[in-house]
Chains A and B, each alone.
Chain A
Amino acid sequence: MSFPILSSLIALPIVGAVLLLFVRGVDEEQTARLARQVALIVSVLVFFETLLLWARFNPASADFQFVERHAWIPAFGISYAIGVDGISLFLLVLTAFLTPIALLSSWESVHKQMKAFCMFVLLLESAMMGVFVSLDLFLFYIFWDAMLVPMYFLIGIWGYDRRIYAAIKFMLYTMAGSVLMLLAILGLAILHYNATGSYSFDLLKIYALNVPRPVQFWFFLAFALAFAIKVPLFPFHTWLPDAHVEAPTAGSVILAGVLLKMGTYGLLRFAFPLFPQAAEFFAPALAVLAVVGIIYGALVAMVQPDMKKLVAYSSVSHLGFVVLGLAAMNTQGVQGAVYQMLNHGVSTGGLFLIVGMLSDRRHTRLIAEFGGLKKVMPHLVAAFLLVTLSSIGLPGLNGFVGEFLILLGAFRWDPRFAAFAASGVILSATYMLWMFQRVNYGTVTNEKNASLPDLRPREWVVIVPIIAVAILMGVLPNLFLAPIEPSVEKLLNQFHQSSTTRIEASVDPVTGHQSPPTSEAAR
């Protein structure tokens, strides 16, 4: 048996967290120093492991790779089944890429209980990996909920003033959404029992299940609600600004960078392919919410006095693009959506890092408190500019590729959605450049800003990789798009086949036999 690389991605951070338990220095400070070093080394190892995974990943294959299957609770068909395909591959890389950066960003800004902080970050990483590789619905749900706990503590313990309120809101809102999803998951297992005589939570088997149309509708709504809250899709987004504003920088980076993607990933991996007829029925509604979110998020972002809130609302807008691409359910739309998930992780993660650097220096995030920073810290502002440009989708940087593909996908589906969504291109430039101007241009009007230090060596290490990846993904997107495409195509073929033919044709639930794609629309 080959090395279980995916399991090790989940296990390694946990091992690191356990190791941290035994880290003890002579005093508080030394313990903190040791703890963050251990955590950083572990997270960097995980990152290298994901790179190795990428290198060994067969980009031409549409199937799940590195699959591991072990019976877990056989009586109920619960198994430990994990695997990776083109859709999840880069989400793993992204997670592993952002975790060490998040740790580094907290190097000095976390003042208490560094050890616990590092443990939670590593546990969070493990749970996020688990979500992206799960091929068993039960296992997926375990990771999905497990991820909430460390995030809850990260916000609740190391956050800003209203951290308790924000943490509870985050926790309850997300859980409220996922309860219904759990019921739907159980329902699916029962349907599988009814059809075959045995329970199963195995995603691939349930894909092939013939779910009756009315049931699809209810189950789809249950799944979609959980994911829509996570995305967050308008109008379920109000937990996000609070969570972001109160979360420590590392929390914001991971929250925006990875956690939100679980919502869109869930839609793509579970809600759409499990319930294709319902998905097809509700897709226009999702698209409307997505487009409203794009415009609404941007407009509200425009008038925010707090930088973190501004970036949080911009996430609502950007994630609206992702959902729109998914709802289009064609190659460009979905591929663009997957790409945009990665882009958003990089550019919004970068924005939160920059805002974190500013707030570390000034202990405020209010735009009005700043002004004229370019003169004071030219390097930090240059990095700020590049990240801003990446976020507003300047061609040559990462954001453009995703946005363009999504718009193209949406346009091919229904030009009206694309037309409205494209206005986001104008609005994003407006709110980002306005913030950028007020923070960085002009003369220094506030004495406190006059002698702020420019980028420190540690901050260089944090921000340079972000910018490098933004450029790489903008110039050589095919490096990423090529491995994504086969899996997207396969998913779409299955989707379009079952959304239109499942009513008549009975698909063999065991082999999941599918006839080759015929519909041109799937392209």
Chain B
Amino acid sequence: MLLLIPLLPLVGFLINASFGRRIGKTASGAVACAAMVASFAVSALAVWQLLALPEESRALVSHAFTWISSGALSVGVTLRLDPLSAVMILVVSGIGSLIHVYSTAYMREETDSEYARYFSYLNLFAAFMLVLVLGANFLVMFVGWEGVGLCSYLLIGFWYQKKSASDAGKKAFIVNRIGDFGFILGVLLAFVRFGSVDFQEIARSVATLSPETTFGTISLITLLLFVGATGKSAQIPLFVWLPDAMEGPTPVSALIHAATMVTAGVYMIGRNAVLFSHAPQTLAIVAVIGAATALMAGTIGLVQNDIKRVLAYSTVSQLGYMFLAMGVGAYGAGIFHLYTHAFFKALLFLGSGAVIHALHGEQDLRHMGGLRKELPITYWTFVIGAMAIAGVPGLAGFFSKDEILSSAYFSGHQILWAVGLLTALLTAIYMFRLVFLAFHGERAEHPAPEHGAPHPAPQHPAPGTHLHDAPPAMALVLIVLAIGSALAGWVGWGGRFEHFLKPSFSPQTAEIVAEGGAEMALMVTATVTALAGIAIAFVYFGRARGAADALAARFAGLHRVLLNKYYVDEVYDATVVQPIHIVSKEALWKIVDVRVLDGAVNGVGETVGGLSELLRRLQTGSVRAYAASLFFGVVMILGYYLWR
């Protein structure tokens, strides 16, 4: 039954890839949605079965066939459902279904064949993502891991005629490959050390060891794996691809670059919790990188003007939060945040998609404003999403964020806690900056479209023209996700969520003990911070729009650095990309290859030929004879040896 979960979307992919253009939009959209919903239904059924099992033995395994075997290595195509993957498949197939439905309306303007191509990629993505989270060993996970990367590449570059889109797709793939370089080496080292690539077997072997006090093999394995995670989950230093990935259609950003794929790195650490727990030094690195990424991306998010880029940096920042949780050993809290984040970030992206849809492709916040009146459904659902991510009490983000902050604090990482709190403040500010700029105030003057995309057609409606709120399929999805963003956190009430996940992280992961009184104080601090952030956003962006500009002018240097994302792309280009390209072209190819190596070969040829003008003429005159003479020379030598 587990096999059906990824197979259903795969079938959807095959149908749409082969016949999609011929069956029309309605049918191809229906096929894709049906495949996803069916996958969700099977997932729910499988999780139901899982819940029926006693807590300590909650696992369903399904072995299809042996994939690769060579010597001591034997890797099966094996899927395994446990509490952790149960959460993941529900998120992937559930949110995935919603986004498929949303897309049927959002992508309506595409031609039949493009529409089918879009849905085939989306289905294929879901199939790989489900393989990623269900895989019982590193290699099956890696199939999903690279497969989702491929779909991400294809979907970011969906509007392939636009150079920025195909550039962004390529960048995403290559940056991810840099991470995979580490990931593969980590898997190899794990196999050499433990003789298996199966998660459970590795966990069992590790459990018998004591945690490494110095940086040893396990630390190296986990660090290499984490390099892979920084690629897939857009952490420092490999986060640069995610903001560019916003070139893809907005539902893709919601599904792949917010709710599911980018959380794969977090999931991978959760999947190997026992392994990581034995490498405290790696965990420290994970926590620091997570916190630093959260803060850095949060500051960039403050000043971006593209609605989707704000959300992209917000995603990077929230992923940093999740890694912070993993790094302090609060695996349950990290996965909890992954789960709640999937709701509200999908909601926010889809809401921004509704805005972009209504404005015919406009993404610049400076050209928005006042949309509250014209797009009421989008507005209200968006506000719920913004409140959820900001951490307003009672909404989803509040619960998970609070878990992470208190885990950081009680595991003795007060500095990381402070960074996390500061990030929470930034989160509230940039989210409500976005809300105020887009939905409040008055609509700005007609701008010159900066994003000259061939699609969606950049016909910006002038202020005063009537805008259409999200069409039914989109509105429905927004409402469902808004309800989820409001209520999803309650399943964690009283630590139930983490309790459910615990078997996946056992044996032996550290317990973080919270003190009741201090915990309450932390919660109050977090709440006050969130509300303060909203208030600041209101002061600077809601009440009087000039206030923020004045501030930006006062700190012009800092503002420019943030606006240019700390110039990280520029630095990478100047220190890595260009040098490699120039050295390869000018030194390796034109000098080493053509002059030195080939020159030597031709030089030998010419010396031989130059021994005599006569021979040289023979050489150029009758090549075949020359080659033949060489052959006969060989035969002569042969003859000498045979007959001597």
Contacts and interface: CB of A to CB of B under 8 A. Distances in A.
Interface stretch (A92-100, A252-260, A264-272, A417-425): A417-425
A404 B139 contact: yes
B601 A330 contact: no
Interface string A166-194: 01110111010011001100100110000
Contacts of A336: 70
B597 interface: yes
A375 B174 CA distance: 24
B189 A442 contact: no
B562 interface: no
A303 B589 contact: yes
Given A303-B584, A303-B589, A433-B170, A523 B161 contact: no
A206 interface: no
Interface of A: 76, 145, 152, 156, 164, 167-169, 171-173, 175, 178-179, 182-183, 186, 189-190, 235, 237-239, 296, 299-300, 302-304, 330-332, 335-336, 372, 374-375, 378, 389, 394-396, 400-401, 404-405, 407-408, 411-412, 415, 418-419, 422-423, 425-426, 429-430, 433-434, 437, 440-443, 475-478, 481-482, 485, 489, 523
Given A173-B601, A331-B70, A425-B184, A145 B631 contact: yes
Contact of A394 (B69, B146, B184, B185): B146
A145 B180 CA distance: 42
Contact of B174 (A182, A374, A411, A433): A433
Contacts of B189: 411, 415
Interface residues of B, number: 62
Interface string B139-179: 10011011100100100010011010011001001100110
B70 A303 contact: no
A389 B588 contact: no
Interface stretch (B34-42, B249-257, B493-501, B634-642): B634-642
B638 to A, nearest CB: 6
A175 B632 CA distance: 11
Interface of B: 65-73, 113, 139, 142-143, 145-147, 150, 153, 157, 160-161, 163, 166-167, 170, 173-174, 177-178, 180-181, 184-185, 188-189, 191-192, 580-581, 583-585, 588-589, 592-593, 597-598, 601, 605, 623-624, 626-627, 630-631, 633-634, 637-638, 641-642
A372 B188 contact: no
Nearest to A145: B631
Nearest 9 pairs between A and B by C-beta?
Answer: A331-B71, A303-B585, A441-B166, A238-B598, A299-B584, A441-B160, A395-B143, A411-B188, A429-B177
B593 A395 contact: no
Given A405-B70, A523-B72, A167 B623 contact: yes
A183 B143 contact: no
B161 A442 contact: yes
Contact of A485 (B66, B70, B177, B583): B70
Contacts of A171: 623, 627
Contacts of A481: 68-70
B71 A442 contact: no
B217 to A, nearest CB: 11
Contacts of B174: 426, 429-430, 433
B637 A478 contact: no
Contact of A477 (B68, B163, B180, B598): B68
Contacts of B631: 145, 175
Nearest to B627: A171
Q: Give the interface centre of A145, A336, A426 by most chain B CB atoms within 10 Å.
A: A426
Q: Give the interface centre of B192, B589, B592 by most chain A CB atoms within 10 Å.
A: B589
Given A238-B598, A426-B178, A407 B184 contact: yes
Q: Give the interface centre of A296, A299, A476 by most chain B CB atoms within 10 Å.
A: A299
Nearest to B66: A478
B70 A335 contact: yes
Contacts of A374: 160
